[in-house]
Amino acid sequence: MKKAVNTAALAGIYCLCANFVLSLTISKFGMTDETGRLLSLGLITLFTMLPPSLLYFLNWKDTDLFHDEKNEKCRSIPETIPIIFWGFAICAALNFVISLLSDLVSNQRDVSSGVLFHDVQVFLTAVLTVGILPAVCEELLFRKCIFGALKKFDELLAVLISALIFGMLHSGITSMSFAFLSGIVLGFVRIYTGRFWAAIAVHLLNNLLALGTAAVGVFISPEMKSIVFYVLGIVGIVFTVTGFIMLKARNIKLYQAKEGGRHLTQTIKECPALWAYFLLAVVMKIF
């Protein structure tokens, strides 16, 4: 167990360091136009996420990394699709609520924030580099490798550890909070469906939602973007609440706790690499 958690933390440390070095290098030598910046983000994602994922595949062959279909709880495609959309609705609701809280604290709303493109060609580049690539590469590391290595010990712990490391990779309280909470959602989608690609689908839909909302602000109007933001957020909340009511009514559990499962706090205390990861993440965000 300690080895699995420490390995996950070391993967996070690599991601932090690789992201820092690559970002610094590209900022000095990379292209400065919109397309160049987007392509640079894609390269950073690839070289940050793929090397630790490869090491996991080489060193954790005894975990459920290769064949989701061997999972006893693996659901059929017709059962999986509604869960994907429910997970997507929860992420939309979380983004809505966290954004509103952030706006409340900062006392302002910038409807043009986060725009990375000003024409269709650049938008399509953004779909690839900040939509598709992160969804695939980040889920490969966090919900396939790290989660896969930890789930045999305790599924809830696997969800929380993978979400914690995932969240700390992001910058800013708002982004970190959303990444952590959405990471929990993605972990439970992975558990409940038994399918790794279901987590990719939810992640991809969430990324495309953000890009699509930004596109409305660019190609239509900032006012329309704000309307879309509120409508989708409220719809997400409705579907989220409805889904939890249905689970409660049917007495469905999202995961099965294992006997002798370890608490998150106990695991963190016993894993020095995890402490080192948290410390490094905090230092990098401060300086």
Residue 153 CA to residue 158 CA, distance in Å, equals: 8
Per-residue pLDDT, 151: 84
pLDDT at 250: 79
Side-chain half-sphere CA neighbours of 176 within 13 A: 12
Q: What is the DSSP string of 108-142?
A: ---TTTT---SSHHHHHHHIIIIIIHHHHHHHIII
Degrees, nearest 5: CA angle 284-213-210:
35
Whole-number Å distance between alpha carbons of 96 and 181: 13
What phi and psi values does residue 76 have, to the nearest 5 degrees? -70, 165
- How far is it, in rounded angstroms, from Cα 242 to Cα 192? 17
Cα–Cα distance between 253 and 273 in angstroms, integer? 32
pLDDT tens per residue across all 287 residues of the chain: 788 888 899 999 999 999 999 988 887 776 667 788 888 899 999 999 999 998 888 776 555 555 555 555 678 888 899 999 999 999 999 999 999 998 887 755 444 445 567 788 889 999 999 999 999 999 999 999 999 888 888 888 889 999 999 999 998 888 999 999 999 999 999 988 888 899 999 999 999 999 999 899 888 888 999 999 999 999 999 999 998 898 888 777 766 666 555 666 777 777 888 889 999 998 887 76
Sequence-separated contacts (24+) of 276-281 with Cβ below 8 Å:
276/9, 276/13, 277/9, 277/10, 277/12, 277/13, 277/16, 277/165, 277/168, 278/168, 280/13, 280/16, 280/17, 281/12, 281/16, 281/168, 281/169
Residue 251 C-alpha from the chain's centroid: 28
Residues 6 or more apart whose Cβ sits within 8 Å of residue 140: 49, 50, 53
> Is-contact 28 49, C-beta < 8 A?
no
Is residue 3 within 8 A of residue 271, CB to CB? The reply is: no
Question: Distance between CA 179 and CA 186 in Å, rounded?
Answer: 10
Of 144, 155, 153, the C-alpha closest to 256 is: 155
